[in-house]
């Protein structure tokens, strides 16, 4: 079986949060592995391939804008499309 990923992935088990952009639903996730271009996440409910999400680690200011590339029961693979940096309310 050939490897389709363009980047090496690093195994992890970090807690994160995702937002399903089509319905604005927030849910916890566990990052199983991550690379420069994407990640594999464990989620509490199935999420369809093609779904747009925001993904961020708890306590991190970066929010990654992603597209679900594949879905298999309670695991999803996402491609990072871009990111934003959260601003604190006191900075406004």
Question: For 14-38, what is each residue's pLDDT tens digit?
Answer: 999 999 999 999 999 999 999 999 9
Give the number of other CB atoms < 10 A from CB of residue 39.
Answer: 23
Domain annotation covers residue 1 = no
In the chain, the number of structural domains is 1
CA distance 10 to 21: 26
CA distance 80 to 39: 8
Domain annotation covers residue 40 = yes
Domain residues for the domain of 45 are: 10-86
pLDDT of residue 5: 55
pLDDT above 90: residue 92: no
Q: The pTM is what?
A: 0.82
Domain annotation covers residue 2 = no
- The single residue listed with the structure tokens 């590339």 is 69
> Residue 61 belongs to a domain with what CATH number?
2.40.10.220
Domain annotation covers residue 39 = yes
Check residues 87 and 89 and name the one with the higher pLDDT: 87
Domain annotation covers residue 69 = yes
């Amino acid at each position: 079986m050939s490897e389709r990923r363009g980047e090496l992935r690093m195994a992890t088990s970090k807690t994160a949060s995702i937002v399903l952009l089509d319905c604005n639903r927030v849910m916890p996730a566990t990052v199983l592995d991550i690379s420069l271009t994407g990640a594999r996440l464990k989620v509490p409910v199935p999420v369809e391939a093609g779904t747009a999400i925001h993904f961020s680690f708890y306590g991190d200011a970066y929010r990654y804008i992603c597209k679900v590339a594949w879905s298999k029961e309670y695991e999803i693979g996402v491609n990072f499309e871009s990111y934003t940096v959260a601003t604190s309310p006191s900075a406004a």
